[in-house]
Amino acid sequence: MKRFFYCFLRLILSASILSASLAAQDWVRGGTGLGVERVRLAASDFKSSTGDPQNTALLKTFNDVLWNDLDNAGIFDLVSKSFYPLQEPGQPSEVNFTAWNTAPPNASMLAFGNLGAAGGKVTVQGWLYDVKNQASPQVLGKQYTDNATNDAVRVIAHRFADEIIFRLGGGVPGIAETKIYFISERSGHKEVWMMDYDGANQQQLTHLGSISLSPRISPDSSRLAFSSINKGGWEIMMYSFDLNRMVAFPRFGGVNLSPSWSPDGKLAFSSSRNGYPNIFVVDASGGNPQRLTSDKGPDVSPSWNRKTGSQIAFVSGRTGLPQIYTMEADGTNLQRVTDQGYAVSPNWSPNGQFLTFSWMRKYGPGEPGSNDIYLMDIASKQWVQLTHDAGRNDFPCWSADGRHIVFQSHRSGSDQIWTMLADGTNVTQLTFSGSNTQPSWSWK
Amino acid sequence: MKHATMSRWLTLTFALATIMFLGACKKKVAPPPPPPPPPAAQPTASLSANPNTINQGQSTTLTWQTTNATDISIDGIGPVDPSGSRQVTPTDSTTYHLVAKGAGGTQEATARVTVNPAPAPPPATVQNVTEEELFAQNVKDIFFDYDKYDIRADQQAALQADAQFFQQHPNIRFTIEGHCDERGSTEYNLALGTNRADTVKNALIQAGVSGDRIKTFSYGKEKPFCTESNESCWQQNRRGHFVYGQ
C-alpha cells in the first residue's frame, strides 16, 4: 500500500516536471522528500541580549514558535537539539562552523540569533547561515522590533520562520502567518471563529446567536462569506475585516449555502431560489446572479479552481449518493470525477492540479464505511487516500503553500480541527474544546 | 533403514492409538457427571409512552428496552426489535403490553396511554378550536429513506390526507422543513433537506394546494428530533416537517 502511494506521488512528480515550472509543484518535493534531499536545518535557541527579566518568558515563546513553524513546514530535515554543540551562537561572530557542519549535527543550514527586551520594547536579531560555506555564509539577516509582549514575539517568530521557508523552500512563501477560520459551538451557538495556523489565538468572530456554517475567507483576506439562518432563511452573510463587523449582502431567497471565492473575488454558492438547490455565481457585491446547474438533484459545496478561476468543482446527488463533478465556470463541460461511494466537500489546490475531498469510497450495507480525506490529480483522476482508520474526516482545505491540508476529524471522539502535510503525514490537532468544524485556510 | 524407521513409527502410532482408544473406553465406562448448564440470565424489559396522555387523533411515542430476550412482541404491534421506539396513534385509551421471552424466562412491561376523546362536535365548540390546533392535530409529517428525497409509497396516504386538510383550510399558510439524519456531510444534508421540503411542496401543489401558501426550509442535520445513533432514530430525523405559519 505504502509502496503504491509513493509510486503514485513519484508519478505526479515526474508529470509535474514535464508539464510545468518546478516552483509551482514544490509541495511534492517538499511534502514527500522524493528525489530531492530535504535541507538539513539546525535551529539553535536564540539567546538573551539584555538583562531584562522578561527575556526568559519571551525567549521561551520565540524559540518554541520558531521551532514549531520550521518543523511544520514539511521541507526540512530539522536536526534534533540533542545533537547541537554546547556553545550556541547569539551573534555571527560566535558561530563555530566546524561544530555545526560536521557530525553529529551535520547541518547544512543554521538559524540563530538573539532577543532582548528593554523599556517595554523587544528587539530580535535573526540569521540564517549556510554553515557549509564559511567564505560567504549569510543567507538571511533580519532585525525586528515590537512591543515586549508574548503575542508580538509570537508574530516575530512566525515572520522569521516564513523568511527561512521562503528562501529554502523554492520561493514558495511560508504559511506561519496565515489564519484558519472555522465553526465552533463553544458559545452555545454555531458561530464563526478564527485562529492562527498553529491553533494559537482562538477567538470568536460572529455573535449572531443563530446557526452559522461554511465560512470561506476571500483571497485577499478582507472579507469572510458564510451561510447562516437570518430572518427565517438560509442566506449568504458577509463579515468585513476592514470594518471588523458584518456588512450587508443581498438576500437571494430559498436556501443559500456553501459560498466559495474565485481568485478574482466572485462567489459561487448553492441556492434553491429557483426550486431545487443549484450552483449560482454572483459578482463580489452579490449582484448579477447566474445559474450554472439546472438538474433536480441537490447541488452544493462548489470550490473554484484557485489557480485559473475557470473551473468549479461541486457535489451533486443527481444520480443518488453524492458525487464530485467539475465544470467550466460558465456551467459547460460537466465531468463526474468520483465513480462510487459518498463523495463530498471538494477543495481545489492552489496550483490548480489537485482536488482534496472527503470520501466514503465503499458505501453500502456491510461495507466498513468511514469518511476519509483523499487527494485526486484532476487530469488523470488518480487518487490517494490521506487519512486511514481514524473516524469521520470531512471539509479538507488547502493551505496557501499547497503543502498542508486542514480538515475536520472525529478521531478524538468529538469533531475537532486538524492539519497534516499533503502526503498525509505530520497530523496535528489544533482545537480541543467544544465542537469545531468546517475549517477554511486563508489564501495568504 | 527406511523400513525400520517406518515400522518404528507405525508401532509408536499404533501404541498411541491404543492408549487413546483405551482411554476413551475407560471414559465411556465411568462418565463424569455433566457440568450443570450456566443459568440463563433473566430478561429485563421496560416500556414507556411519551406523552402518556394525548387527544384523540394525536400520536405518542412508545419506547422500549429489553436485555437477554430473544423474542419480543408488543400486543397490537407484533414482534419488535430488542429496543426501539415507535409512533402510535391509539383511538382509545390503551395499555400497551410488551412480552420479552428469553432463555432465562419471560418478562413483561406495560405502558398506559390515556386518550382524551375528541371534543363533541357541537358548533359552539368547533369555533373554539383554532386553525393552529387543527393543524397540529391533523397534519402528518412525511418520512424519507436514507439519502432519498422521493416520496415513499407508504407516505402517500399521509400526503393525500395533508393535501385534503390544506384544501379544507385555505387560509392556513405553512412551512415545510426538510430534515436529515446525522450521517452524511453538513452541507450536503442541508441541500438534501431542501430537496425533501421542495418535493413535499411540489406534491401538495400537484394535489391542488396553492404554492404561495407554502414556504420551504432546510435544517439538514442541524436540528434533529432524536439524537441516538440507530435506525429508528435516524428514520425519525429523515422527514419533511410541517410547521404552522411562515
Same domain, A107 and A193: no
Domain of residue A93 covers: 20-168
- Decide if pLDDT at A294 tops 60: yes
Minimum distance, in Å, between the CA of residue A320 and any CA atom of chain B: 7
Distance CA B186, CA B188 (A): 6
Chain A residues in contact with B149 by the CB 8 A cut-off are 298
Specify the CATH number for the domain of residue A112: 3.40.50.10070
- Decide if pLDDT at A20 tops 50: no
Tally of CA atoms within 13 A in the half-sphere of A281 that contains its CB: 23
Distance CA A368, CA A435 (A): 25
Nearest chain B residue to A235 by CA distance is B217
ipTM for this model: 0.90
Same domain, A248 and A153: no
Average pLDDT over residues B237-241: 97
- Decide if pLDDT at A409 tops 60: yes
Same domain, A156 and A206: no
Distance CA B217, CA A311 (A): 29
Average pLDDT over residues B182-211: 96
Query: What CATH architecture applies to the domain B44-116?
Result: Sandwich (2.60)
Tens of pLDDT along A205-236?
999 999 999 999 999 999 999 999 999 899 99
Of A143, A168, A193, the residue at which a domain comes to its end is A168
Question: Domain B123-244 is in which class?
Answer: alpha beta
Across the interface, whether the CB atoms of A317 and B147 are under 8 A apart is answered yes
Average pLDDT over chain A reads 91
Q: In what order do the strands lie in the sheet with A290-291?
A: A256-261, A267-271, A278-282, A290-291
- Decide if pLDDT at A38 tops 50: yes
Chain A residues in contact with B217 by the CB 8 A cut-off are 232-234, 255
Give contacts of A 188-247 with B, CB under 8 A.
Answer: 190, 211, 213-214, 232-234
Yes or no: say if A111 and A125 are a contact pair by the CB < 8 Å rule: no
Minimum distance, in Å, between the CA of residue B114 and any CA atom of chain A: 37
Tens of pLDDT along A321-358?
999 999 999 999 999 999 999 999 999 999 999 999 99
Average pLDDT over residues B111-138: 75
**Which pLDDT score is estimated for B25?**
43
B171 versus B10: the higher-pLDDT residue is B171
Supply B99's cell numbers.
412480552
B182/A contact by beta carbon, under 8 A: no
B192/A contact by beta carbon, under 8 A: yes
Same domain, A210 and A354: yes
Distance CA A176, CA A158 (A): 5
Amino acid in the structure at residue A209: G
Q: Is residue A340 part of a domain?
A: yes
Tens of pLDDT along A359-375?
998 876 656 558 999 99
Of A118, A145, A168, the residue at which a domain comes to its end is A168
Across the interface, whether the CB atoms of B187 and A275 are under 8 A apart is answered no
Q: Quote the pTM value.
A: 0.78
Same domain, A160 and A291: no
Same domain, A144 and A185: no
Confidence of residue B104 (pLDDT cuts 50, 70, 90): confident
Distance CA A83, CA A349 (A): 37
**A10 Cβ contact list (under 8 Å, min separation 6):** A34, A35
**A370 Cβ contact list (under 8 Å, min separation 6):** A360, A389, A391, A392
**Which pLDDT score is estimated for A36?**
57
For chain A, the domain total comes to 2
| Domain-wise residue ranges, chain B | 44-116, 123-244
Tally of CA atoms within 13 A in the half-sphere of B155 that contains its CB: 21
- Decide if pLDDT at B19 tops 70: no
Q: Is residue A13 part of a domain?
A: no
**Which pLDDT score is estimated for B62?**
85
Among A373-377, A433-437, B87-91, the minimum mean pLDDT is found in: B87-91
Nearest chain B residue to A295 by CA distance is B195
**B45 Cβ contact list (under 8 Å, min separation 6):** B64, B65, B66, B69, B72, B98, B99, B100, B107, B108, B109
Average pLDDT over residues B24-52: 68
Yes or no: say if A338 and A363 are a contact pair by the CB < 8 Å rule: no
Q: Which percentage of chain A shows pLDDT scores above 90?
A: 87
Same domain, A232 and A131: no
CB-nearest partner of B186 from A317, A342, A438: A438
Task: Classify A407 as helix, strand or coil.
Answer: strand
Same domain, A35 and A55: yes
Supply A206's cell numbers.
460572529
Same domain, A145 and A200: no
Same domain, A164 and A193: no
Confidence of residue A35 (pLDDT cuts 50, 70, 90): very low
Yes or no: say if A236 and A242 are a contact pair by the CB < 8 Å rule: no
Same domain, A330 and A222: yes
A147 versus A14: the higher-pLDDT residue is A147
Q: List strand residue ranges (DSSP E) for chain B, in order.
A: 44-50, 53-55, 60-67, 71-74, 78-79, 83-88, 94-102, 105-116, 142-143, 174-179, 214-220, 239-244
Confidence of residue B120 (pLDDT cuts 50, 70, 90): low
Give contacts of B 194-213 with A, CB under 8 A.
Answer: 194-195, 198
Of A168, A191, A226, the residue at which a domain comes to its end is A168
Chain B residues in contact with A438 by the CB 8 A cut-off are 186
Distance of CA A3 to the CA centre of its chain: 26
Q: Is residue A319 part of a domain?
A: yes
Same domain, A49 and A197: no
